[in-house]
Structure 1
Amino acid sequence: MWGSDPDIARALKALGLGPEASMPEAKSAFRQVAKRLHPDHTPPTPETLSRLAEAVHAIRTLEKSDSLEVELALSPGDARDGVTRTVTHRGRNGLFRILPDSASGTRIAAIGDPAFTIVIRIEAQTQTSAPTTEAGLNRFVDDFVKGSPTARLAGWLRKARSAA
């Protein structure tokens, strides 16, 4: 499941597991090691503290390398033309090259990290755009703040008479 990365092999060994172990098994082994070596249960010696630190580092390494799948929403234009996107999820970064004419449901692995994948979801194009806040504000100003052309002309005439 984990591949042949030497850091992962060291992490599994620190937890007392073989290369066929799954992530739930690794978490269970970490809990057992942490209970056994924690300073609340064992006198804190340099050896026990360093072994506990190794176990914490091991589980962090395994969590980071565990497979991860994220859904990525694309516009129809981006899916048609193809794009390159950077995705960050749970502290993990991936660079994804989406090929032109990609379909919804396509799975793509990150460049350099095959355990980090995305699933493409193409958003539907809407025929009518939703009214924006600015459009609503402009409509309000037109309806209630600005006077009618007749009222504006009358105001202009009043100002002109008072100036004369």
Structure 2
Amino acid sequence: MNKWREGGIVAAYFYTLAIIGCALAYWKGSRSEKFAAMIYIAGSITTTLAGTASQWALFEPKIFLIDCLILVGFWMIALRSKKFWPYWITGWQLVGVLIHVQKAFLPGIAPEPYGYLSMYLSIPVLILIVIAGITDKKLVKETISIAQMLQPDGDILKGRHRGQ
């Protein structure tokens, strides 16, 4: 199997999982998860459309700009959210941006690490967005039910809770 065909298959699997994962996060998640899923998909598609002019042998300014915009989007989510996970995806995206900066200042870096790190850092971001989206409403419901059980008029040991 040639490299182009292998890359096409990997890309097809990636986009299938990314679309399904982000759709789940969008469907099940709250506002933060919805925005993160939209930013992730938009960033992935625009990065693919921008392509690599040099197959990662040189600094990629278009992909650097896209990654910076994604970073700003994730940062805005983190600043407005009361959750912790947006800071994780913002940190991973910052590492991705810094990889571009490193390549710009040190052009002798081999293309493989530059390309692989630029691409594969998006996988933990996707995983975290999906997990956050799937567990979001469930965690909120569990937190509310625990808070209700701890009300002064409820007795956990006897099984009496508000509303029973």
* TM-score in terms of structure 2 length: 0.22
Higher relative contact order (CA 8 A, sep 6+): 2
Q: Which protein has the bigger strand share?
A: 1
Q: Which protein has the bigger helix share?
A: 2
Q: Which has the larger radius of gyration?
A: 1
* TM-score in terms of structure 1 length: 0.22
